[in-house]
Amino acid sequence: MATSAEQASTAGYETIVTSVSDGLGLITIDRPQVRNALSKTVLAEIRSVLDAWEDDEAVRVVAFTGSGEKAFVAGADISQLANYDVAYGLAGAMQRLFDKIEEYPKPTIAGLNGIALGGGLELAMSCDIRICAGTARFGLPEPNLGVIPGAGGTQRLSRLVGTGRAVEMVLTSRLLDAAEAERFGLVTTVVPGEQLLDAVRNTAATIASKGPLAVRLAKMVIKQGAETDQKTGQMLELLAQTLLYTTADKAEGVAAFLDKRPAEFQGR
Clarify whether 194 is annotated catalytic. no
Quick check: 53 and 62 in contact, CB under 8 A?
A: yes
**Phi, psi torsion values for 38, nearest 5 degrees:** -90, 105
What's the CA gap between 123 and 102, in Å, rounded?
A: 9
Clarify whether 122 is annotated catalytic. yes
Which of 14, 142, 194, 264 is the catalytic position? 142
CA-CA-CA-CA torsion sign (209, 225, 94, 135): negative
Quick check: 188 and 129 in contact, CB under 8 A?
A: yes
Which of 6, 54, 103, 122 is the catalytic position? 122
Return the amino acid letter for 60: R
Strand order in the sheet with 7-9: 7-9, 16-21, 24-29, 61-66, 108-112, 129-133, 189-191
What's the CA gap between 224 and 51, in Å, rounded?
A: 22
Q: What pairs with residue 139 in β-bridges?
A: 117
Strand order in the sheet with 176-177: 71-73, 115-117, 137-139, 176-177
What's the CA gap between 230 and 254, in Å, rounded?
A: 29
What amino acid positions are annotated as catalytic residues?
A: 122, 142
